A = this chain, B = another copy of it.
């Protein structure tokens, strides 16, 4: 909120050479987040510009959830240790790093309470109570909240923080195929958030069996490519099968009064989506945002001398009014104490997608000069029908961002047919390397061990040309029959 000095407006780090430092600088200088207080490393303060983006993302996704039968609810922040222990017993491999409440008021608690690292261990027992009959199914609850995971890694706002915002959906169904349809509905909605709202193309598929969420039958994922060549798991949707339902006794009487065990799913998307958004589109002038999520979509910068001031401002105000009436989020930057150059830099830093410059020439010619944030393209357009024209340009800005990200992604998927080629390609380029794979976890190890790259995704059966190839292809690592394609990548 502080305007700061001119030099605060410049990004000094290089996106391509020091991606991490550049990202941290954009986050700080564009007023997206501050680090938490001393003694609380790993926590961030989400400032209004970033929170407003999160709210828009919430609005987009939440509307989709509601259109497809999801109801929001709110469950307690704390989970008794015995509940988490119960989950651990059920779910091999579940052992989150938890923050424990041990004292309250002036007393020590009899049982430690976990600050929720995820809520299925508290939500599932309630679902069990609420489901009695097939008429209660499907049952779908979602909550928007923060969760805490005490992972001791370097803080990276929106990517790695000890507390993060997310939504977690939990559903119960009568049949496995219903749960599968649910799993895919949510994954498709996550894909849509990225592709239709954040201008980020993603890859869609499933995690290899050895890397599913503990307890899940199948974990599906959307993966986004970051500019440092790493993949980020950008949203996950789990078909949990009957493991949770059996353990937590989610049963129902079916049409014939038979008692049956339900099939459940869970699915979540976190503020990593914000991180992926910021990191992908932004540049060395600062934040770049698609108009869909930008708190301010259009800024009007009037340029005047003393003798032209009144005319220019009148004209600019008229345009601002027209745009506002048309539902465009517009700001007229008529500050006296800043010159146009400062304003240009500031709004570029803050990621305003479209700038309108208005000087005496524009007034005389009944025109507007537009500037697209992503690439600086300038266009002179008629004042008439300004709102329609601006909307077209906002769409164009969105399309440019999407096309650029798509081109990058397309160029960063490479094929490799043996271990040396996989390692060489990942080492040289990063990105994704696709290889025929036998399906065995052991064949991930020779890549994972030296390179810290893993199989981040396997396309769904219908999308994988190797399915049904019947021995025509062999695993890039072991040489056995390969009927699936593995996407190797380094990941966040």
Q: Taking CB as reference atom, which chain B residue is nearest A49?
A: B71
- Interface residues, chain A, with chain B CB atoms under 8 Å away: 1-4, 34, 36-40, 43-48, 51-52, 54-55, 71-78, 80, 82-83, 97-105, 110-113, 115, 122, 125-126, 129-133, 135-136, 139, 141, 146, 148, 150, 152, 163, 165, 337
| Cβ–Cβ contact B102 & A97, under 8 A | no
Starting from the known contacts A2-B129, A97-B105, A100-B102, 14 additional A-B residue pairs (CB-CB under 8 Å) come to A2-B130, A3-B133, A4-B132, A37-B80, A38-B80, A40-B76, A45-B76, A46-B75, A77-B115, A77-B146, A99-B101, A99-B104, A99-B113, A102-B103
Partner of A103, one of B4, B100, B141: B100
Selected A-B contacts with CB under 8 Å, 12 pairs? A1-B130, A34-B129, A39-B80, A44-B76, A46-B74, A48-B71, A51-B73, A55-B72, A100-B101, A100-B103, A101-B115, A115-B115
**A39 — which chain B residues lie within 8 A by C-beta?**
80, 82, 110-111
Docked Cα-Cα span, A364 to B148, in Å, equals 61
Q: Taking CB as reference atom, which chain B residue is nearest A142?
A: B48
| Cβ–Cβ contact A165 & B74, under 8 A | yes
| Cβ–Cβ contact A48 & B163, under 8 A | no
Docked Cα-Cα span, A76 to B164, in Å, equals 9
| Cβ–Cβ contact B126 & A76, under 8 A | no
| Cβ–Cβ contact A43 & B103, under 8 A | no
Given contacts A73-B48, A135-B3, contact A100 B110 (CB under 8 A): no
Docked Cα-Cα span, A97 to B101, in Å, equals 13
- A379 CB to nearest chain B CB (Å): 31
Q: Taking CB as reference atom, which chain B residue is nearest A106?
A: B97
Partner of A131, one of B1, B55, B72, B132: B1
Q: Taking CB as reference atom, which chain B residue is nearest A338?
A: B135
Partner of A51, one of B74, B98, B122, B337: B74
Q: Taking CB as reference atom, which chain B residue is nearest A103?
A: B100
Tell me if A's interface is mostly helix, strand, loop or mixed. mixed
| Cβ–Cβ contact A76 & B152, under 8 A | no
- A401 CB to nearest chain B CB (Å): 25
Docked Cα-Cα span, A51 to B72, in Å, equals 7
Q: Taking CB as reference atom, which chain B residue is nearest A97?
A: B105
Docked Cα-Cα span, A48 to B71, in Å, equals 6
**A112 — which chain B residues lie within 8 A by C-beta?**
103
Q: Taking CB as reference atom, which chain B residue is nearest A101?
A: B99
- A297 CB to nearest chain B CB (Å): 16
**A1 — which chain B residues lie within 8 A by C-beta?**
130-131, 136, 139
| Cβ–Cβ contact A163 & B37, under 8 A | no
**A52 — which chain B residues lie within 8 A by C-beta?**
71-72
- A180 CB to nearest chain B CB (Å): 22
Docked Cα-Cα span, A43 to B111, in Å, equals 15
**A129 — which chain B residues lie within 8 A by C-beta?**
2, 34
| Cβ–Cβ contact A148 & B77, under 8 A | yes
Partner of A75, one of B45, B132, B139: B45
**A4 — which chain B residues lie within 8 A by C-beta?**
132
**A136 — which chain B residues lie within 8 A by C-beta?**
1-3
Docked Cα-Cα span, A98 to B109, in Å, equals 12
> 6 tightest A-B contacts by CB?
A48-B71, A46-B74, A104-B150, A43-B76, A97-B105, A100-B103
**A83 — which chain B residues lie within 8 A by C-beta?**
37
| Cβ–Cβ contact B126 & A34, under 8 A | yes
Given contacts A80-B37, A105-B150, A163-B76, contact A2 B43 (CB under 8 A): no
Docked Cα-Cα span, A44 to B39, in Å, equals 31
